Amino acid sequence: MKLSIVIPAYNEAETLPLVIENVRGVLAGPALAAIEVEPELIVVDDGSTDGTREWLQELRDPLVRAVFQPRNQGKGAALRTGFAQATGDIVLVQDADLEYDPRDYAVLLGPILDGDADVVFGSRFLGGPHRVLYYWHSIANSILTHLSNMLTNLNLTDMEVGYKVFTRQALSGIVIESDRFGFEPEITAKVAARGLRVYEVPVRYRGRTYAEGKKIGFRDALEAVWVIARFGLIQRARLRRELRRSSA
């Protein structure tokens, strides 16, 4: 099994080397020992200006393939580029900021390897250990997840989670249109519209403060509402058209 780990990175010079080290440790560790994994790490630098880009240019690691965006465009644009470069049977999204722990890979891959899922979402709200931080962030996350669920008819607990895993077939034909953090609700709507089998598993979460480099903010929450409405309603209308054709 070939596993593509796609890491979008923007100004993560302090954390990206540690993330890659942690990923390498997990891939070589006992948790994945029973799985014959051929891994590739695709790091997409999204126009960094803090030394991340230069560090990647000097990196000599046969496991890591660095891709450089010409300018900063956002997480969705970086993932669009990374997905196009991925050659694995399974594609896993790994953030570059140490908020998510690669020790959860075995749990994330489990439902797909068992043949039960096409897509796996992590969840910060299903019992995994997590750092206690911003109350209003948790409220906003809950509202966005519920809005998304209303239009996709999924019962997710954490639509905005960074850990998302896809089979190659699940991603085939999906074009990511959102350049920024709208990626999360957009991919959720498109996965739901295709009737793919979705699982959730608990993951660890060590959230960052804004002083520590957290980037998502109020503007991104507003964008998420628009993306939920746009793609959720589009997918619902498409499903209604297909139902009318099938019953004709």
Residue 32, phi-psi category: left (phi > 0), alpha (psi -120 to 50), beta (remainder): alpha
Rounded to an integer, what distance in angstroms lies between the CA atom of residue 48 and that of residue 73?
10
What interhelical angle do 135-152 and 183-193 show, nearest 10?
Answer: 30
Q: Which residues contact 154 (CB under 8 A, 6 or more apart)?
A: 148, 188, 192, 198
pLDDT of residue 220: 64
Domains of the chain: total: 1
pLDDT of residue 127: 80
pLDDT of residue 203: 96
Q: Residue 230 sits in which domain range?
A: 2-247
* pTM for the full predicted model: 0.87
Find the CATH number of the domain harbouring 241: 3.90.550.10
115-142 pLDDT, tens per residue? Answer: 999 999 999 998 877 666 667 778 888 8
pLDDT of residue 235: 66
pLDDT of residue 133: 63
Rounded to an integer, what distance in angstroms lies between the CA atom of residue 81 and that of residue 176?
10
pLDDT of residue 1: 87
Q: What is the 3-state secondary structure (H, E, C) of the chain?
A: CEEEEEEEECCCCCCHHHHHHHHHHHHCCHHHCCCCCEEEEEEEECCCCCCHHHHHHHCCCCCEEEEECCCCCCHHHHHHHHHHHCCCCEEEECCCCCCCCHHHHHHHHHHHHCCCCCEEEEECCCCCCECCCCHHHHHHHHHHHHHHHHHHCCCCCCCCCCCEEEEHHHHCCCCCCCCCCCHHHHHHHHHHHCCCCEEEEECCECCCCCCCCCCCCHHHHHHHHHHHHHHHHHHHHHHHHHHHHHHC
pLDDT of residue 216: 63
Which stretches in the chain have pLDDT values below 70?
A: 130-134, 208-218, 220, 235-248
Rounded to an integer, what distance in angstroms lies between the CA atom of residue 171 and that of residue 235?
16
